[in-house]
Amino acid sequence: MTFELRRCLPLLALAAVSAAPLGAPALAQSAANAPTDAEPRLRRIEAEIRAIQRKVFPDGAGKTFAPEITPSQTTTTPRIGTPASSAVTDVLARMDAVEAQMARLTAQVEEGQNRAAKIEERLARLEAQAVPSEPAAAPTPAAAPVVTTQPAPKPTTAASTTTTTAPKPATTPAAKPAAPSAARVAAVQAIEKPSTADAGLDEYNYGYRLWEAKFFPEAQQQLQIYVDRYPKHSQISFGRNLLGRAWLDDGKPGTAAQFFLQNYLADKKGARAPDSLLFLGIAMVKLKDTEKACGAFAELAATYPDEIAGRLKGQYDAARTSVKCK
């Protein structure tokens, strides 16, 4: 690079700055604020730039640098119409609606959970009343104890139809009983088993006859056969209740309580559901569990007020006076 060119470099930089396009507002402001001698100075600078160009480009004029930076061409697209509300406003409104709906759903779920918890608590309280205090093994045949309550009348026809299948009682392994005496075997065989067109009713009636004759272990086995084979029979409420009676009269109130509670929970509209609640309370009295006995009697009074005022009045009054409830 020649000495003259190096001397011209500062002037070229000044020329590039001077040649850069200025925005209209900036030029207008500069023109307004410039002193009175601005015009001569500009003319002098332009003349010097032309001299530099002739010096740098001796071949001829017209070879100048095009500016690298040009003012951006911005176009403003006119907005058609005005939105009714901003996007943020719409989002907030939708969030408020969603939160309100979630609050309603949460309230409904909490109400349902509360109702379910109360039902479960009530069932748990009733189930807790049937805790056996002795093994459910079949006892050795012995002299029959005296029946302390009135026997259930022997049904001959269907008295009720269950609406819910009863939960099947837990089958307990029975210990092998001692061989009964010949006299007892003969007495049991002397009891005739009915034989009619209704096999389920025959099984139940045979169990009833064994219970009525105070052959309680044999009645337990026979009635268990009936309950297992005919869970939807028309007399099933009688059968489950009488099965509990056979255990209760045999001196096993803990096992009896299980069958009484199962009969009540399986079909609360069954013909012997009130009886099962009554004998459940009696079994708890024999187990010296006053709280659960009083709970059974209170449930009986609340669920079956007509029964304790009519058919079961005598038995209920006698059982109720045998325990002091708060």
Domain extent listing, the chain: 3-31+39-56, 182-321
* Residue found under tokens 């056979």: 246
Say whether 85 sits in a helix, a strand or coil: coil
Reply yes or no on whether the pLDDT at 53 is more than 80: no
For the stretch 179-205, pLDDT in tens is 778 888 889 999 999 999 999 999 999
Cα–Cα distance, 69 to 253 (Å, whole number): 105
State how far the Cα of 47 lies from the Cα of 51, in Å rounded to an integer: 6
Average pLDDT over residues 121-141: 54
Give pLDDT tens digits for 210-260.
999 999 999 999 999 999 999 999 999 999 999 999 999 999 999 999 999
The H-assigned helical ranges of 38-86 are: 38-56
pLDDT in tens, 167-181: 455 555 555 556 778
Residue 146's pLDDT is 36
* CA dist list (Å): 154 to 74, 205, 207, 211, 239: 105, 8, 11, 11, 11
Please check whether residue 241 is in contact with residue 272, taking contact to mean a CB–CB distance below 8 angstroms.
yes
Q: Cα torsion for 310, 314, 319, 322, to the nearest 10°? A: 130
Per-residue confidence (pLDDT) for residue 197, from 0 to 100: 93
pTM: 0.48
Give me 144's structure tokens. 């029959």
CB 238 within 8 A of CB 272: yes
The band of 55, judged by pLDDT with boundaries at 50, 70 and 90, is low
Residue 321 to residue 326: CA distance in whole angstroms:
12
Please give the DSSP secondary-structure letter assigned to residue 56: H
Q: How does DSSP classify residue 191?
A: S
pLDDT of residue 242: 96
**Architecture in CATH of 182-321:** Alpha Horseshoe (1.25)
Higher pLDDT, 168 or 39: 39
pLDDT cut 70: percent of the chain above it: 59
Give residue 114's pLDDT band: very low, low, confident or very high (50, 70, 90). confident
pLDDT of 263 strictly over 50: yes
Tell me if 57 sits within 8 A of 6, measured CB to CB.
no
Residue 264 CA, chain-centre distance (Å), reads 26
**Residues 6+ away with beta carbon under 8 Å from 274:** 300, 303, 304, 307, 308, 312
Tell me, letter by letter, the H, E, C secondary structure of 239-290: HHHHHHHHHHHCCCHHHHHHHHHHHHHHCCCCCCHHHHHHHHHHHHHHCCCH
Ranking 5-19, 87-101, 290-304 by mean pLDDT, the lowest is 5-19
Mean per-residue pLDDT of the chain: 73
